[in-house]
Amino acid sequence: MSTTAENIQRQISENPILIYMKGSPQLPQCGFSAQTVQALMNCGERFAFVNILDNPDIRAELPKIANWPTFPQLWVEGELVGGCDIVMEMHQSGELETLVKAAAQRANVEGGEQNA
């Protein structure tokens, strides 16, 4: 039986593009998650997600591990990119698409999303 921290580390290491969000990409449960996932979907690459509303242990533990208090959280290749404001700024500048496409190319993934 793995701990919540081990589970989070596994999710982050096994998924090159991962968003911890409230809800799912098809049915976001907060405005910030909706904006962030829409920006991510606009990049056109496959990504994983974790619905923290279904995972209260992850919701409680991840802010300590990430040293980031809020959700959503976008992780790319094991690094925390940030939350809604940072992701939206990167999306508007084109930086998000560059980052996501490079990560996807390195991981050999194609369009869509999956549940971590």
Q: What is the per-residue pLDDT across 30-50, written as a single tens digit (0 to 9) for each? A: 999 999 999 999 999 999 999
Q: How confident is the model at residue 108, as a pLDDT?
A: 74
**pLDDT higher than threshold 50 for residue 110:** no
Listed by start position, the domains of the chain span: 4-106
Greater pLDDT, 115 or 4: 4
Residues 39-65 as b or e (16 or more Cβ within 10 Å = b): bbeebebbbbbbbbeebeebbebbeee
Structure tokens at 61: 């533990």
Question: What per-residue confidence (pLDDT) applies to 2?
Answer: 77
Write the pLDDT tens digit of every residue in 60-95: 999 999 999 999 999 999 999 999 999 999 999 999
**Element spanning 103, H or E:** helix 95-107
CATH superfamily of 4-106: Glutaredoxin (3.40.30.10)
Percent of the chain exceeding pLDDT 70 equals 92
**Res 8 pLDDT > 50:** yes
